[in-house]
Amino acid sequence: MTIEVGRVAMAKLSDIEIGTRVRQEMGSINELELSMKESGLIQPLAVMETAEATEPDHKKYYLLAGERRIIVLRKNGVEVVPIRIYPPDISDLEMKTIEMAENFYRKDMEYWEYDNIVREMHGLRQQIHGVKPPGPGDTGWGAQDTANVIGADSKATVTTAIKRAEARETFPELFEKCKTQHDATKVLRKMDEAVIKHAIAQKLEADGATGDLKRLADAFVLKDFFEGVKKVPDGIMHLVEIDPPYGIDLAKAKKRDGESIYSVDDYNEIDIDSYQMFMAGTLKECYRVMSDHSWLLCWFAPEPWFDVIYRELREAGFETTRMCGIWTKPSGQTKRPEIHLANAYEMFFYAWKGRPAMNKAGRSNVFDYSPVPPPQKTHPTERPIELMRDIYETFCFPGSRILIPFLGSGSGLMAAHGLGMSATGFEMTKAYRDSFLVKVHGMKM
Per-residue DSSP letters for 2-38? PPP--EEEEEEGGGEE----S------HHHHHHHHHH
pLDDT score for 193:
66
DSSP 340: S
Gap between the Cα atoms of 274 and 235, Å rounded: 28
pLDDT score for 253:
47
- The residues spanned by each domain of the chain are 7-170, 209-442
Asked if residue 4 has pLDDT above 50, the reply is yes
Q: Are 335 and 249 in contact (CB under 8 A)?
A: no
Q: Domain 209-442 is classified in which CATH homologous superfamily?
A: Vaccinia Virus protein VP39 (3.40.50.150)
Shared fold status for 7-170 and 209-442: no
Gap between the Cα atoms of 390 and 359, Å rounded: 11
Ramachandran angles phi, psi of 18, nearest 5°: -105, 125
Count of CA atoms in the C-beta half-sphere (13 A) of 225:
25
Gap between the Cα atoms of 93 and 11, Å rounded: 25
The pLDDT mean for the chain works out to 82
pLDDT score for 175:
84
Choose between 85 and 443: higher pLDDT: 85
Question: pLDDT tens digits, residue range 176-226?
Answer: 888 888 888 888 777 666 666 666 666 766 666 667 788 888 899 999 999
Count of CA atoms in the C-beta half-sphere (13 A) of 17:
12
What integer is the mean pLDDT of 378-388? 91
DSSP 172: G
What integer is the mean pLDDT of 119-123? 82
Q: At 154, is the pLDDT very low, low, confident or very high (cuts 50, 70, 90)?
A: confident
Question: pLDDT tens digits, residue range 399-432?
Answer: 999 999 999 999 999 999 999 999 999 999 988 9
**pTM of the model as a whole:** 0.58
pLDDT score for 201:
67
For the domain covering 7-170, report its CATH number.
Answer: 3.90.1530.10
pLDDT score for 391:
98
Asked if residue 347 has pLDDT above 60, the reply is yes
pLDDT score for 263:
45
